[in-house]
Amino acid sequence: MELTIDDEGRVPQATQLASPNCDERPPGIAIELIVIHNISLPPGEYGGDAIERLFANTLDYGAHPYYAGLRGLRVSSHFLIRRDGALLQFVPCAMRAWHAGASSWRGREACNDFSIGIELEGSDAEPFTEPQYAALDSLLKALQARFPIAGIAGHSEIAPSRKTDPGPFFDWLRVRDT
């Protein structure tokens, strides 16, 4: 599917779910980096609405023992790609999503300022799906056509002491050839 990006940075073909965990980007900062993540809530379990609830600050922390450790966490991402390839958008690209945390890329700190965050529903423990790679490919092409993207990195590359995602099963050759 060919995706488009409107002037506010929304992909009309994506399901739109607003996250309050975002703010304005610093003035004059171009979007130059795409950061690939993985997420599953609870870890290793797929489906359900826990990821959406986490990004919307409506997660029921009593619904699973793992969730108690997430209490008070305020995070988001621009996009989530489900295991079946469904694309969800939480934050318009023009806004700064809170996905990277303390991070550095090519000597530049604070990657949230100049990046787009893409979460893949998954974990470090298993491969991603063909529908996810197809959706990711379409999204990357749209982002690269719209913004001066200079690189695509994993969360593990911009925050190596804290993060391991997208993990060892992510096929970088498929992405970096895009």
Say if residue 175 is exposed, middle or buried (CB neighbours under 10 Å; 0-12, 13-18, 19+).
Answer: middle
Q: What residue spans define the domains of the chain?
A: 15-176
Q: Annotated catalytic sites, by residue?
A: 119
Pairwise CA distance, residues 116 & 33, whole Å: 6
Mean pLDDT, residues 8-22 taken together:
97
CATH class for the region spanning 15-176: alpha beta
Pairwise CA distance, residues 76 & 57, whole Å: 9
Pairwise CA distance, residues 100 & 103, whole Å: 6
Mean pLDDT, residues 102-107 taken together:
97
pLDDT of residue 176: 63
Pairwise CA distance, residues 81 & 122, whole Å: 9
Instruction: Evaluate if residue 175 carries a pLDDT over 90.
Output: no
What lies within 8 Å, CB to CB, of 14 at 6+ separation is 3, 79, 87, 88, 89
Amino acid found at 149: I
Reported as a single tens digit per residue, the pLDDT across 146-162 is: 999 999 999 999 999 99
Is the Cβ–Cβ distance between 57 and 40 less than 8 Å? no
Reported as a single tens digit per residue, the pLDDT across 72-92 is: 999 999 999 999 999 999 999
Mean pLDDT, residues 63-76 taken together:
96
pLDDT of residue 177: 56
Secondary structure letter of residue 13 according to DSSP: T
